Amino acid sequence: MDSIVPCLNLNLYSEPTSSSSTTIPKITPKIEPLDEPPPFLPTTTYISHTHPHLPTHHQTPSVPPPPEPDVSSEFNRISELFRSAFAQRLQKYGDVAILPDADPISGAIVPYSNPETQVSNVVISPRGGRKQDQRSSELVRVTDLKPEDYRSFRGGIRRTRMIFDSLRAFFVAEDEKCRDLLTPQRRLRVDLKVATLMKNQGLWLYRDKRIVGAIPGVSIGDVFFFRMELCVVGLHGQAQAGIDYVPASQSSNGEPIATSIIVSGGYEDDEDAGDVIIYTGHGGQDKHSRQVVHQKLECGNLALERSMHYGIEVRVVRGLKYEGSTAGKVYVYDGLYRVTDTWFDVGKSGFGVYKFKLVRFENQGQMGSVVLKFAESLRTRQLDAWPKGYVTLDMSSKKENVPVFFFNDIDDDHEPLYYEYLNTTRFPLHLYDHGAKGIGCDCVGGCLDICSCANKNGGQFAYDLNGILVRGKQLIFECGPHCQCPPTCRNRVSQKGLSNRLEVFRSQETGWGVRSLDLIQAGSFICEFTGVVLTHEQAQIFTMNGDSLVYPSRFPDRWAEWGDLSQIFADYVRPAYPSIPPLDFAMDVSRMRNVACYMSHSSSPNVIVQLVLFDHNNISFPHLMLFAMENIPPMRELSLDYGIADEWTGKLSICN
């Protein structure tokens, strides 16, 4: 049963993929290029609902495609469409970057207009007057994205998700405040609130096209903490239902077409073997998720059947139990599957259920859910049962709270082990000369918003109660050794060191790299970038010796991108305070270093540098703390923007 059972029309769709690993199988005959562009040319298949040309099993690749425009121009049109959705935001970032340090107003943030106004602003789409809050019925497939196009789409996804996360943190903080004042109340469904707000602002992605197949910018293995996030990025449009589909009424031939499903174990008759899923149709359950009536072949069930009939690929998202998530669960995008079989069966309850066999397309890269489970299994594994390639299970020699792994299964290079592991940056001793005078707060019982350390941050803490960075700042003041507050104080986050199990690994492509064995939530602290601090003068001497130095001032101000809600709140200005002079020190990592300096460079990084001060008072010598800019699944390489001007695809040899 584990082999693929082709259905009647499947042979049309299993055309071999190109050699590019990011390419998914082209699945429709209509993708046949008209004027034989090179195989790399981006092609967009366009199944317009105005064209009565849904593929049927009678069609062969030789059937002429519908009278659509040239494929590449069609691609460009759609690409531009999506891009334009983010252009405004990019503009905003530009503005922020050159904002003079003028406005001293605090973090008082007020929506610039009431929700009603906002709604009315976006109801009419700028193009064509169609309602924005309704999904398009236009079926589109985007394939063979060029790397730069993919990056562009991914940038859009990332910014949108960052807004989601930031808004969530913002509303959670609001909610916390309210609860202090009022009587105990139900917790707000912040996820819903955020999603609605973003929808009203027109920030949901891919609503003007109904995408079959991969969502541009979403990678296999991407992890989501909330179901609504899937709606926001266009992976799955249903807030609760497990099958998303184009309804019959909107379909060109009057038949519904399924585009994505969520497998989260809610139906007892599901059988999930990874590459092959026996998926139960929806319906027939009572409030307690018990099957109480027969399912019918309608709605999503019918749509899945139709997708099988037409060979339409289906996105699969898995819901997995995960303690670290507020909902106790995360959603992982596992790639594209095809429905190969369907039948009506008697479920365990004795009631009839529809079953669908889904088989994963090959050449898609490892499933995110498999990686998550694998990483989880390592947590409890005996030392001798670790996979080959783990040279040491803690290169920090217990200097970090959690082990730092060292993995190399491609050669004998053990170079990182020859350096002394430095778990915190070594600053010049004179920075500590001034002692404790007036540095710390007196909050013996724990810090509140009125604490002096909060004041230094502009009247609020930079982190939420879970230690998530709410908003990037030029400099963050954490409570420190001179404060009276307990170690559990919420304003001590980055000083506590690692909480995720990081791993230095060797790869053919990037040389040394860093990845995590744990899922890292966006906004959470990862590690410090440590080294021995050299003053300007000392650095000049060192440079003459040819030693490699890291210059903190060269890291771009990526912190400004994190938590920027100017898209949502027009007067969401970045507080000018604290404002610090450009950093003028260097870090020597030639003898002592930590895991951070093995991170690869990327111009679209998933890790940002946030400057933090806590153990001394000199704003010219902050710690370089690294935070996750997006949810980073286990085994995905971490990357930093080192401020290198050129487009750099390989590993930065910053430590060599």
Closer by beta carbon to DNA, 11 or else 121: 121
Residues 6+ apart with CB under 8 A from 429: none
Q: How far is CA 68 from the centre of its chain?
A: 34
CB contact at 8 A, 529 and 624: yes
Closer by beta carbon to DNA, 289 or else 488: 289
At closest approach, how far in Å is the CB of 298 from DNA? Answer: 7
At closest approach, how far in Å is the CB of 519 from DNA? Answer: 15
At closest approach, how far in Å is the CB of 566 from DNA? Answer: 22
Q: Residue 578, preceding bond cis, omega within 30 degrees? A: yes
At closest approach, how far in Å is the CB of 373 from DNA? Answer: 16
Closer by beta carbon to DNA, 222 or else 637: 222
The Cβ-side half-sphere exposure at 138, using a 13 Å CA radius, reads 15
At closest approach, how far in Å is the CB of 154 from DNA? Answer: 22
Closer by beta carbon to DNA, 276 or else 526: 276
At closest approach, how far in Å is the CB of 608 from DNA? Answer: 25
At closest approach, how far in Å is the CB of 464 from DNA? Answer: 13
Closer by beta carbon to DNA, 245 or else 477: 245
The Cβ-side half-sphere exposure at 636, using a 13 Å CA radius, reads 26
Closer by beta carbon to DNA, 133 or else 376: 133
At closest approach, how far in Å is the CB of 3 from DNA? Answer: 23
Alpha helices in 434-566 (DSSP H): 452-456, 536-544
Closer by beta carbon to DNA, 239 or else 273: 239
Residues 6+ apart with CB under 8 A from 457: 473, 476, 477, 578
Please give the C-alpha separations between residue 625 and each of 371, 478, 529, 575, 628, in angstroms, as whole numbers: 27, 12, 6, 20, 10
At closest approach, how far in Å is the CB of 188 from DNA? Answer: 7
At closest approach, how far in Å is the CB of 132 from DNA? Answer: 11
Q: What whole-number distance in Å separates Cα of residue 97 and Cα of residue 429?
A: 34
Q: Which residues bind DNA (CB under 7 A)?
A: 131, 133-135, 186-187, 189-193, 195-196, 199, 226-228, 231, 237-242, 245-250, 256, 262-267, 270, 279-280, 282-285, 287-289, 299, 319, 326-327, 329
Q: What whole-number distance in Å separates Cα of residue 142 and Cα of residue 252?
A: 19
What secondary structure letter does DSSP report for 65?
P
Closer by beta carbon to DNA, 64 or else 184: 184
Closer by beta carbon to DNA, 320 or else 613: 320
Tokens of 175: 């909610």
Give the other-Cβ count within 10 Å of 329's Cβ.
16
At closest approach, how far in Å is the CB of 189 from DNA? Answer: 5
At closest approach, how far in Å is the CB of 190 from DNA? Answer: 6
Closer by beta carbon to DNA, 158 or else 199: 199
At closest approach, how far in Å is the CB of 225 from DNA? Answer: 7
**What is the phi/psi pair of residue 150, to 5°?**
-60, -45
Closer by beta carbon to DNA, 279 or else 421: 279
Long-range contacts of 50-56 (CB under 8 A, 24+ apart): 50/252, 51/252, 52/252, 52/253, 53/252, 54/251, 54/252, 54/253, 54/255, 54/257, 54/310, 55/9, 55/12, 55/28, 55/29, 55/30, 55/310, 55/311, 56/9, 56/309, 56/310
Tokens of 477: 């003041």
Environment class of residue 136 by beta-carbon count within 10 Å: exposed (0-12), middle (13-18) or buried (19+)? middle
What secondary structure letter does DSSP report for 185?
-
For the chain, state the CA radius of gyration. Answer: 26
Closer by beta carbon to DNA, 322 or else 390: 322
The Cβ-side half-sphere exposure at 589, using a 13 Å CA radius, reads 26
Q: What whole-number distance in Å separates Cα of residue 235 and Cα of residue 244?
A: 9
Closer by beta carbon to DNA, 72 or else 238: 238
Give the other-Cβ count within 10 Å of 196's Cβ.
14
The β-bridge relationship of strands 390-392 and 511-516 is unpaired
Q: What whole-number distance in Å separates Cα of residue 553 and Cα of residue 656?
A: 20
Of 378, 381, 407, 377, which Cα lies nearest the Cα of 392? 407
Closer by beta carbon to DNA, 285 or else 494: 285
At closest approach, how far in Å is the CB of 494 from DNA? Answer: 25
